[in-house]
Structure 1
Amino acid sequence: MSAPCTLHLAVLGLLFVSAYPMKVFTSKELEALNGTDVRLKCTFSSESPLGEDITVSWQYRHLQEEKTENVFYYHREPYPPPPGRFNSRAFWDGNLNRGDASIMLRNVQEMDNGTYLCQVKNPPDVHGQMGEIMLRVVNKAKFSEIHILMLIIGIGSAFIILLVLAIVLFRYYRNRNERSTPVSNLEW
């Protein structure tokens, strides 16, 4: 092969690799109850096989500010958060072999409201969008699907209990009336 041909193949190879950027997936919005632990879920897919140089970085951006704050970093092993608000509260909860780069944030407070950015790099697959999660910490839980399900089950159970009670009472009064009816009044 000639040198220009080899160069063209190398350029084509680079274009092919960069044509498939890292894909990062997150839930866009997340609501958590004040004082609870929350899992910031971040999954990814890479066209390149996972290598030792894969890195995961999590950053935080406050609602009113553009500057970001480091939350967590992973390169071959989880590194504890830097001193600050996330120190001893952010923990690795992912599994890179399964495409999971999630972290756990303990004891969330209202000051944790904001956007969490998840970035995964797996050289040469280093391009692509960061995943974003808008976290809202609330003092009371909203009326969620679980509450609706519990309400439906409760209403259904109450209906069944009332139905069984009505059948039992109906049979009781029918049997009572049959016993009190004199035999002479019955026609054959």
Structure 2
Amino acid sequence: MNIYTASEVEAVNGTDVKLKCIFNSSAPVSLQSVSVAWYFRPPHPGHEEAIFYYSGRPFPPSEGHFREHLVWSGDLEKKEASITLLQVSPAFNGTYSCRVLNPPDVHGINGEVNLRVVNKPGFNLPDWFLGLFGAGV
């Protein structure tokens, strides 16, 4: 199993962002055979948590801060296991892992993408710096 993701993604606070996960499998792919799991690890010490599962149908999170902020946007027939995060905030900063299983093809390296939520696209100055110049910056 080969899984491909971007290494880093930047998203503007309050927008939606798609975390793409593409896979290649040595076994035939069918909607019944493939399962997908997404995990989140915060940037500061903390433990990894399961945030999404797909097996025959999507199982979005029913609790936590990803509840109602995560939707399935993959297409297994095209070997895509992507999710979309809705209305991201700085609480979404961290590392997301995409894990795909297609028995008997269950071994391989998971895809990992680091998400960074920013206030404006492109170059961002820290809030303390902007405060030096007042609200006009």
> Shift of residue 53 of structure 1?
2.9
CA distance in 2 between counterparts of 1:130 and 1:43 reads: 11
Provide Cα deviations, 1:116-167, integer angstroms capped at 9, x if missing partner.
0000000000000110000000001116xxxxxxxxxxxxxxxxxxxxxxxx
Higher helix content, 1 or 2: 1
> Shift of residue 64 of structure 1?
1.3
| Equivalent residue in structure 1 for 2:62, among 66, 82, 85 | 82
Residue 20 (structure 2) pairs with residue 41 (structure 1)? yes
Alignment of 1:11-50 (within 5 A): 22-50=1-29
| Equivalent residue in structure 2 for 1:130, among 106, 110, 113 | 110
Alignment of 1:43-122 (within 5 A): 43-51=22-30, 52-122=32-102
Point out which structure has higher relative CO (alpha carbons under 8 A, 6+ apart).
2
Aligned residues: 122
Identity %: 48
CA distance in 1 between counterparts of 2:62 and 2:33 reads: 21
**Aligned letter for 1:47?**
S
> Shift of residue 59 of structure 1?
0.5
Task: Give the RMSD, CA atoms, in angstroms.
Answer: 1.0
TM-score, normalisation: structure 2: 0.86
CA distance in 1 between counterparts of 2:2 and 2:33 reads: 17
Structure 2: where are the runs of 5+ without partners?
124-137
Higher strand content, 1 or 2: 2
Pick which of 61-70 and 121-130 moved more: 61-70
Provide Cα deviations, 1:159-187, integer angstroms capped at 9, x if missing partner.
xxxxxxxxxxxxxxxxxxxxxxxxxxxxx
- 1:97 is paired with a residue whose SS is helix
CA distance in 2 between counterparts of 1:65 and 1:55 reads: 28
Alignment of 1:140-179 (within 5 A): 140-142=120-122
- 1:111 is paired with a residue whose SS is helix
Q: Larger radius of gyration, structure 1 or 2?
A: 1
**Aligned letter for 1:48?**
A
CA distance in 2 between counterparts of 1:61 and 1:82 reads: 18
